[in-house]
Amino acid sequence: MNENDLLQQAAALPPGRVTRLEIADQSYFVKMVETHQRLRLHVTKGDPAKALAREVGLLRAFAERGAPVARVVAANERHLILADHGTPVEKAVRKGEVSDALLRQIGSTLADLHARGLAHGRPVLRDICHDGTRITFLDLEAGAKLNARDHDMARDLIILIYSVMMSTSANRDIARQVIEGYRDVGTEAVWQATCRRSRKLWWLELLARPGVWLHRRRGKKRSEMIAIGATRALIASY
Ligand SMILES: Nc1ncnc2c1ncn2[C@@H]1O[C@H](COP(=O)(O)OP(=O)(O)O)[C@@H](O)[C@H]1O
Ligand SMILES: [Mg+2]
């Protein structure tokens, strides 16, 4: 099916942020321009049409460099149609249903993206897909960079490790596999920058303390507060 036909099909979909579209045995994901009516969101998140256009531009630029990001099949001002890249790894990681090989592949695929001089911006597990063979990164937002420095790549790696530490309680071993995978392919300079950046985040851990206390008291299983200290401790253990 050609791009215009696909865009027409996308336009006929009921409103929603991201919808799966199946046509002639092919599966796609359609991302629509966000329609946040509330002024507050408009102020904090900016112009949604611009945000979509920006993402399309970034995805195409990343693809030109051969980066493992979602493939743009078609796009206009209102719709972005992407190839289907499988299932997000988050749930499987949370349930402990992922092999060490896959965990390492997540790390090494981020290193591959970095090797092309790019930074993703926010590589969290819900935006990392697996199709049985390949790992693909979705959702390029503010923070994605075409001329990334070690510092930006370190930020990506910390966010990825943090996302793992938040998703499951058996996270240390899982996160270690992801780190090993990254270090197999990535540069030592980025790893050193990651250690430095993580050391500098002591203030964040301090800020999270009341939250940690509260979550421990409530016996919360997955805590974004506790994960901060856990992430820093894990990185420091190398
Ligand atoms: N190309 C794709 N392949 C597979 N899943 C996708 C794809 N695009 C989006 N998704 C699913 O939809 C979710 C939301 O998409 P995302 O691009 O992250 O939108 P948002 O900006 O609203 O977060 C993803 O976390 C993923 O589960
Ligand atoms: Mg997302």
Neighbours of 26 (CB within 10 A): 12
- Helices 171-185 and 100-115, packing angle to 10 deg: 40
Does residue 105 sit in helix, strand or coil? helix
Protein residue with its CA nearest to atom 22 in ligand 1: 17
Q: What angle do CA 98, 58, 39 make, to 5 degrees?
A: 95
70 lines ligand 1 (CB under 6 A): yes
Q: What is the pTM assigned to this prediction?
A: 0.94
What tokens appear for 189 in the block?
Answer: 């300079």
- What does the DSSP 8-state code read for residue 127? G
Q: What angle do CA 95, 225, 178 make, to 5 degrees?
A: 45
- Report all structural domains of the chain as residue ranges with CATH numbers, in order of start: 3-83 (3.30.200), 87-236 (1.10.510.10)
Return per-residue pLDDT of the chain as tens, 238 residues. Answer: 799 999 999 999 988 889 999 998 999 999 998 776 666 666 666 788 888 999 999 999 999 999 999 999 999 999 999 999 999 999 999 988 999 999 999 999 999 999 999 999 999 999 999 999 999 999 998 889 999 999 999 999 999 999 999 997 668 899 999 999 999 999 999 999 999 999 999 999 999 999 999 999 999 888 999 999 999 999 999 9
**C-alpha–C-alpha distance, residues 18 and 27, integer Å:** 13
Of the residues 6, 17, 18, 32, which should be mutated to test ligand 1's pocket, given the most ligand atoms within 8 Å of the CB?
18
88 lines ligand 1 (CB under 6 A): yes
Protein residue with its CA nearest to atom 9 in ligand 1: 29
Q: Which ligand is nearest to the CA of 80?
A: 1
